[in-house]
Structures are given as C-alpha cells and as structure tokens.
Amino acid sequence: MVRKQTAADQALRLDNQICFAVYSTAHAFNRVYKPLLDRLGLTYPQYLVMLALWERDGVPVKDIGERLFLDSGTLTPLLKRLEAAELIKRSRSTEDERQVLIALTPHGHALREKAKAVPQSILAASACSVGELLAMKDEIVALRDRLNAVLGE
Amino acid sequence: MVRKQTAADQALRLDNQICFAVYSTAHAFNRVYKPLLDRLGLTYPQYLVMLALWERDGVPVKDIGERLFLDSGTLTPLLKRLEAAELIKRSRSTEDERQVLIALTPHGHALREKAKAVPQSILAASACSVGELLAMKDEIVALRDRLNAVLGE
DNA sequence: ATAATTTATATTGCATACAATCTAATTTTG
DNA sequence: CAAAATTAGATTGTATGCAATATAAATTAT
C-alpha cells in the first residue's frame, strides 16, 4: 500500500530546508574567502572583527560582540590572536575597569589597504550583479533579525 | 579637506557584506534550533546528518559528505558520536573495504517521528510565509552553487 | 553605606570545520 | 602484472562558536 507523503515528511527533506541553504552557503563563502584572507593572514571571523574595527575602534569587546553577534567565549581568544599578530592592542579601560578596549595598531590600520581588494574578488566569485546581491542581502538580514527577535523574547 | 569615500571603502563596510548577512543568519538559525534539537539529543550538524540519512541510509561517509558539503575531518568524529548515541551503525563495506557504510538503527529511524515537529517551529520563528521562504531558499542555493562552482575550477 | 544584583570579560569543556597528513584499499598505466 | 596514482576514511592541529561557570568591577536596593 502506497502512503501519501505528509507535509511533515516533505518539511524534513534536506532540499526544503532554508536553514541548510544558509548554513551551506556560509561554508561556501568561507571557502571562497580562505585563499584571499590567507594573504592577509586572517581567518574569516578575524576579518569580520577587523571590518568592525576599521569602521570604529577603541571600543570594548562587548561592542564588537553586539555588532557581530558573538560572545566573549568566541571573541576573547580571537582577539588575543589578533593582538599576537600585532594588528590590535587590548587595554583595560580606566573609566570602567571591567571593560577591555580594542584599538587598531598602525599595522592594523595599514592592513585595510590590502583588504580593499577582497570584496571585488568575492563579487566576481558570486557571479551576480551588485543589485541582486544587495537585494538578497536585505532579505537575509530581515530574516536574521526576525530570528534574533524570537530569541530575545 | 574632506575626501569622498571610494567604492572600495563602501565595499568594506560590514553592513554591505552579503557574506556577513549569511554568516550571521546561519548562527541565528543555529540558536533557534538549539532548544528544539536539545530535546532530540542532537546538535544542528548532527540533525543535518540525520536528515540526510532519513532520506537515504546504508551509504558511505563520502555520500553524506557530498550531500552536506562536509569532509571526513568533520564527519568521522560526528558519526562516532551518533554511533555512541545508538542512532546509527558504522560498518566497513565488504565490496570496497575503504568505505564505511552508515545505517540507521531502529532508534535512529524512530527519532524521525519526534523530529517532524521541528520544521514547523522554525517556520514560526522565521515569521515568514512558506512561499517567501522557498523563494529565498532558491536564491541562496543558487548563490551557493555559483560559489561552489568557482571553487571547483 | 553595605548587601545584592548586574555587567564585562575570561575560562573551561564540548562540538564543529577544515587543512594537512597518514594508511589501507582500489584503480589505472606502462 | 607491478608500479604509480587515486580514493575513502581516520588523525592531528588550529580556530571558531557557545553554554556554563568564575571573577572582578560597577550599579542598585535597602
């Protein structure tokens, strides 16, 4: 006897999972970034931290965590590696000694120039127009923000 | 003297990176899945492996790796944990002794019933219609496949 | 003002990811 | 067929992520 597949059965199919689409695309991006970032001596999460700092540095760890949705368990060791690479400096805030302020070193600032070539390469690899990518990005960010809103409840 | 921001400057902004959108959305999904999967005793990557096996099991590790874009360095320890949880069985193929075949145990099959509730909860958390999600999924998958195509060159 | 609470970061433990390397088994080649 | 190359998994080392816990500093409450 042949039994019709229920909606619940369909929903469990790997191909139907937007979540797997996002997960596997994140890994694909990571692999495309790897050779580009190797030249900068950065991993992808380290690159994200540098992007955040190039926009605004001299900020506490918490600030970076909020911008990247990462916590201290991830950031503390990562930042220590960036410090060991002499791209950033970590120092206790004198105003609030709980805070560790993260500032770019001259070397960290300088790396920004080398990093300018990266987005162009990624754009080429995605084989997509800037407009399409921006539209897709906005949709994905909207989805992410709804998910995070649920988590915050 | 005020200098105009170049396109390269703009491209380095965190907010403009589709890649960060995908990366941070993947983490948001992970956090939404966590409490649901805790009830099944699975992590998210383990859940993906189970989804793949519920569709087709008795397959070599390689087959799972190709479907999930993961390699043996990730899968070997993960599969050993699933075996320790008695959800799967690992056995050398007699036809080709290089291969390790992965089959579901009765317990592994049974878990599928409990998992049926998961997609519905995720759909609710995404606060999005099924149609919108499917459309977005297709776009993201197309992007992923273009990225993977570049990697394969 | 002191106790209780909250906050910022650090630490530990567990589970991915993935490059690089290794071993054993199979396939291809000369 | 025997050597060379390829393939499937396993292992090792490095770097995330994140939950849970710890610690010290700041804030709030009584």
Residue closest to sugar C1' of C13 by CA: A73
Residue of B nearest to A33 (CA): B19
Rounded Cα distance between A56 and A109, Å, is 11
- Cβ of residue A66 closer than 8 Å to a chain B Cβ: no
Rounded Cα distance between A117 and B11, Å, is 9
Cross-chain CB nearest to B25 (options A52, A127, A140): A140
What six digits make up the tokens of B64?
């799972």
Rounded Cα distance between A23 and A144, Å, is 13
What six digits make up the tokens of B40?
């099944």
Q: Give the mean pLDDT of A128-144.
A: 94
Confidence of residue A16 (pLDDT cuts 50, 70, 90): confident
Total Cβ atoms within 10 A of residue B112: 17
Q: How far is the CA of A16 from the C1' of D14 (A)?
A: 34
Cross-chain residue pair A21–B133, CB shorter than 8 Å: no
pLDDT of residue B2: 67
Q: Is the pLDDT confidence value at B153 over 70? A: no
Cα end-to-end span (Å), chain B: 46
- Cβ of residue A7 closer than 8 Å to a chain B Cβ: no
DSSP E strands in chain A: the ranges are 59-60, 88-92, 100-104
Give the bridge partners for B92, in sequence order. B100
Residue with tokens 């987005």: A119
Cross-chain residue pair B136–A137, CB shorter than 8 Å: no
Q: Are strands B88-92 and B100-104 parallel, antiparallel or unpaired?
A: antiparallel
pLDDT in tens, B94-118: 999 999 999 999 999 999 999 999 9
Please tell me the least confidently modeled range out of A104-113, A120-129, B41-50: A120-129
Cross-chain residue pair B24–A125, CB shorter than 8 Å: no
Rounded Cα distance between B64 and B75, Å, is 8
Rounded Cα distance between A77 and A43, Å, is 13
Confidence of residue B151 (pLDDT cuts 50, 70, 90): confident
Q: Is A98 helix (H, G, I), strand (E, B) or coil?
A: coil
Residue with tokens 């990562």: A78
DSSP E strands in A14-106: the ranges are 59-60, 88-92, 100-104
